[in-house]
Structure 1
Amino acid sequence: MKTICILTSYFPPETGAASNRIAHMAHGLTKQGYNVTVITPLPNYPTGKVFKPFKGRFKHTSIENNITIHRLWIYASNSKNKIKRLIAMLSYSFSLVWFFLFNKLPHKIIIQSPPLLVAFTCMLFLRKSKHKLILNVSDLWPIAGLELGTFKKNLSYHILEKIEHYNYKKADLILGQSNEILSHITSIQAKKETILYRNYPDFEPPKIDKKHVSKGKIKIVYAGLLGHAQGIYKLCQKLDYTNIEFHIYGMGAEQQKIEAYISKHKELSIFYHGGVSREELHVALKTYDLTIIPLLNRIYGSVPSKIFEYARLGLPMIYFGGGEGETVIKKYALGWIAESGNYNHLNRVINSISLSQINSNVKSDIQKQALTHFDFKQQLKKLSKAL
C-alpha cells in the first residue's frame, strides 16, 4: 500500500480552516489508496490550552477513520506576546525532532507551512533523507506578517525570509493555495515544481430551499476565527445596521471585545452565537441571506477557504478583503465586492442589495459553480498523480 505522512500544526478536534483543510486532505488521500499518518501537536487551538482529554500527556497516538494520528507535546499558548508564541512553536519543533529520531517515516511527507519555523525544522532535519518532501503553503510568511503589522522590516524579518527561501529550496514539490503564492515561490525558485492546491471542501452539498422567502432585514452572517486579521470587532463598529442584522459564529482573540461591544450597544442588531461544530454551522447557515468574508488588511497570497465552502452551500457572499479572493468572487459570480478597508464603500454595497436579489435561483447558480469548478475529488486526483 502507498504510504504518506502529513506534518501539521493544526488538526481536528481543533476547529478552523487550517485543521479542516488538512483533515480533508488526509481523508481524501486514504480514499486514493494511501496509508496516511498525521503528526500534529496535542490539540490546543484556538484556546491556547491543551484540550482536557489530552492534558498531562507527552504523546497520544490513535487511529481515526483509518488515519494514524500522533499528537505530540507542545507548550500551548495563544498569547499576543511574541516570546511566548515563539516558545510554543519551538516546543513543537523540539517534539518533532524527538519523534524523527525514534520513529521511521514514510517516503512521502507533506509539510504544512505556516508556521514557518515548524516547516523549517522539518526541512532541516529531513533534508538529507531519501524522503520526498512536499511543502503545502497556505499563506506567505513573513510577508503576511508584515502586511498584518506583526513584523517590521528588521533583522528578525530578514532571518525569517532566509528561512522561507530555505524551505522552498529543500522542497521536492510545493503546493500553493493561490496563484499569488505560486508566483512568489517561482520568483525565488524558478525551476521548482508547483501545483495550485486550493482549499476546496469535501461534504455533501445541501439542497437549496426554493420555498424559503426572507422578510424584514437582510441577515448577514460571519462564521470563523475572531482574530486580528479578520477584524470582526472593527466591523461591528463600522457596519450600518439600518437594513441588516449581523450574526457572528466563532471564537478567537477578539471574542471578549466583541461580546462587550454587543452588551454596550443593545440597540444594534448584532448577535453572537459562540462557537459551534462544522455540522451545526452548515445547518445554521441555511437560515441566513448573505455571508461576509472580511480581512482587516489585504494579505498577499491569501484566498480565504470560506469562499469555496460557502459556494458549495449556495450562500451568496460579500467579499471585503482584496487580492486574489476578489478575482474568484467576480469570475464565478459568487456575490458582491467591497473595496478592501473602505467601510463606507462596504455599507454602500450592502445598502444596494435587496432581498429580491438573494433568491433560490441565485443560490442554486452559486452552488452549481462550486460543484463544477471547486471539485475536491478532481483536485485530489491531480495531487495524487504528482505525488
Structure 2
Amino acid sequence: MSKHILVYSQYFYPEQFRINDLCLELVERGFKVSVVTGVPNYPEGRFYKGYSWRENRNEIWNGINIYRMPIFSRGQSKIRLILNYFSFVISSKLLERTLPKDIDAIFTYEVSPMTQALPAIWYAKKMKVPSYLYVMDLWPENVVAVTKIKNKIIIDAIGRMVDYIYKNTTTILASSERFVDAIVNRNVPEKKILYWPQYAEDLYEIKEKNNQEVISEYFDEMTFVFAGNVGEAQGLGILPEAAKHLMEIHIKVKFVIIGNGRYMSQLLDLIKKLGVSEYFYFIPRQPATDIPYYLAKFDVALITLNSSEIYDMTIPAKTQSLMACGKPLLVAANGEVQEIVRNSASGLYGDAGDVEKLVSNIIKFYEMTEKDLERLSKNSKKYYDTNFDKKQLMDKLEWLLRGC
C-alpha cells in the first residue's frame, strides 16, 4: 500500500515553486500526495483567473489532490501580506475536517511565511502522524531582513513561534548548512535536523548557445546574465555602480537582466542617473521552461544579494539552476554561495555590495579565453551533479518518508 503524504505549502501550482516538481516526483515514486495550499495569487498579489474563494477550491492536478484554503490575496501592502499569512493559518485550521484522514505523514514546504507550519503541526498531532518541515526561509531572521522590524517584543514573539514549530516537528530539513547551525543554536537537537539542499528541475540543463527556441540580441561584448526576481534583496544596485567604473576605464560589457520585480523602477532610475544605459539589456519575465535557452546565449551568470544575517546564510535557489545549466558564476554575495563557487572552481566571487571587487572580477572574466570559460562551465556542472543532483536528493527524501 502506498504511503500518503499530506503537503502543506501556501504556494502551489499554478504558482511556480519547486514544491510542484517535488510533489510530482513523489507521485512518480509511488507515493499518494495531497496538498493543502491557498488560492493562487503569487507574485502579482491578486487571484489568478479562474480561482477565487469559490472557484477551483478543490482540484486534481497530475494525480495530486489539491485542497485550496480561502485566503486574502497578498496585494501590494504590508497589511495585506499579514492578512495573507494569517488567513491561511486560520482557514487551514477551521477547514481541517475537509482534509484526508488516511495520511501517513505531513510535509511542510517552508518558504516564507513560516506560519504555514502551524496548521500542519496541529493536524499532524490530531492524526498522530510524523511531521517534516523543509526550511528554506529562516525565521525570525528573514522577517527582520525583509521588513526592517526592530521591535524586540515582535521579534521575540516570532522567535517563540519558531521554537514551538521546531519543538513539535518530527524532522527538520534545512536547505543550507548554515541553516543547520542556526537551528541548532535555537536549542534544537542536531539529530533532528537533516541538510537537504534544493535541486534544479529537470528542465535546467545545458543548451546550445545558438539555439532557436528563444530570440535575443547578439552582443559583441562579454555578457553577464541575471535571471530572476528583481527585488530589494537581490542587491542589483551594485551593477550600475560597476558599469560606471567600467565605463571610466573603457571596458565594455553587457548586463542582461531577465525578469521583473519591485526594485525594477529604482534600478532603471539608477542606470539613468549614472548614464550607463548602454551597459544594460532587459528581457521581460519568461516562463521557466525558456530560461535554460536564454542562459545558453550569454557568457557568465550573475548571483547578487544584499548583505544581512539571513542572506549570508542562504543558498539562493538560482545557484542550483545555473550550475545545472553549466554556467560560469560571478557572485556578489556573502556566505555559503561563496564557498560553493570556491569549492567548485566555477567562477569568481566577492562580498555583497563590494563594487571594487565586482569590477575586478568582471575584468578577470573579460580577459579570459573561451577555453577558460569552458573549464569553469564544466566545473559548475560537475559540482552540481555531485552535490545537488535531483535523483540523489530525492532518493534520500524517499528513504526518509518511507520510514514514517
Tell me the distance in 1 between the aligned counterparts of 2:118 and 2:166.
10
Q: CA RMSD in A?
A: 2.4
Partner of 1:193: 192
- AA aligned opposite 2:224: I
Please report the TM-score for the alignment, with normalisation by the length of structure 2: 0.86
Q: CA distance change for structure 1 residues 381 and 13 in 2, over 3 Å: closer, same or farther?
A: same
Q: CA deviation at 1:185?
A: 1.7
Q: CA deviation at 1:356?
A: 1.1
Tell me the distance in 2 between the aligned counterparts of 1:320 and 1:12.
32
Q: CA distance change for structure 1 residues 262 and 14 in 2, over 3 Å: closer, same or farther?
A: farther
CA contact (8 A) 2:344 2:379 kept: no
Q: CA deviation at 1:132?
A: 1.1
- AA aligned opposite 2:172: I
Tell me the distance in 2 between the aligned counterparts of 1:369 and 1:340.
23
Tell me the distance in 2 between the aligned counterparts of 1:167 and 1:206.
36
Residues 290-301 of structure 1: pairs in structure 2 closer than 5 A: 290-298=300-308, 299-301=311-313
Q: CA distance change for structure 1 residues 149 and 334 in 2, over 3 Å: closer, same or farther?
A: farther
CA contact (8 A) 1:262 1:271 kept: no
Q: CA distance change for structure 1 residues 222 and 14 in 2, over 3 Å: closer, same or farther?
A: same
Partner of 2:383: 369
- Pairing 1:271–2:307 present: no
- AA aligned opposite 1:235: I
**Unaligned 5+ residue runs, structure 1?**
none
Partner of 2:87: 91
Q: CA distance change for structure 1 residues 25 and 312 in 2, over 3 Å: closer, same or farther?
A: same
- Pairing 1:253–2:251 present: no
Tell me the distance in 1 between the aligned counterparts of 2:374 and 2:14.
34
- Pairing 1:137–2:149 present: no
Please report the TM-score for the alignment, with normalisation by the length of structure 1: 0.90
Q: CA distance change for structure 1 residues 116 and 196 in 2, over 3 Å: closer, same or farther?
A: same
Tell me the distance in 2 between the aligned counterparts of 1:174 and 1:4.
16
CA contact (8 A) 1:236 1:270 kept: no
- AA aligned opposite 1:98: L
Residues 294-313 of structure 1: pairs in structure 2 closer than 5 A: 294-298=304-308, 299-313=311-325
| Stretch moving more, 309-318 or 241-250 | 241-250
- AA aligned opposite 1:251: N
Q: CA deviation at 1:75?
A: 0.8
CA contact (8 A) 2:109 2:134 kept: yes
Q: Which secondary structure does the structure 1 equivalent of 2:183 belong to?
A: helix
- AA aligned opposite 1:360: E
Partner of 1:9: 10
- Pairing 1:380–2:394 present: yes
| Stretch moving more, 155-164 or 311-320 | 311-320
CA contact (8 A) 2:240 2:276 kept: no
Q: CA distance change for structure 1 residues 138 and 267 in 2, over 3 Å: closer, same or farther?
A: closer
Partner of 1:103: 99
Q: CA deviation at 1:384?
A: 1.4
Partner of 1:219: 223
Tell me the distance in 1 between the aligned counterparts of 2:125 and 2:174.
20
Tell me the distance in 1 between the aligned counterparts of 2:108 and 2:3.
18
Q: Deviations over 1:326-375 (max 9, x none)?
A: 11111112211112221221112112213415533432332222223321
Tell me the distance in 1 between the aligned counterparts of 2:136 and 2:204.
24
**Unaligned 5+ residue runs, structure 2?**
212-217
Q: CA deviation at 1:2?
A: 1.4
- AA aligned opposite 1:129: M
Moved over 4 A (4+): 207-212, 259-266
| Stretch moving more, 44-53 or 127-136 | 127-136
Q: Which secondary structure does the structure 1 equivalent of 2:382 belong to?
A: helix
Partner of 2:202: 203
1:356 corresponds to which of 365, 369, 393: 369
Residue correspondences, number: 380
Tell me the distance in 2 between the aligned counterparts of 1:349 and 1:171.
43
1:231 corresponds to which of 232, 235, 259: 235
Q: CA distance change for structure 1 residues 84 and 149 in 2, over 3 Å: closer, same or farther?
A: closer
Q: CA distance change for structure 1 residues 290 and 191 in 2, over 3 Å: closer, same or farther?
A: closer
CA contact (8 A) 2:121 2:169 kept: yes
CA contact (8 A) 2:144 2:150 kept: yes
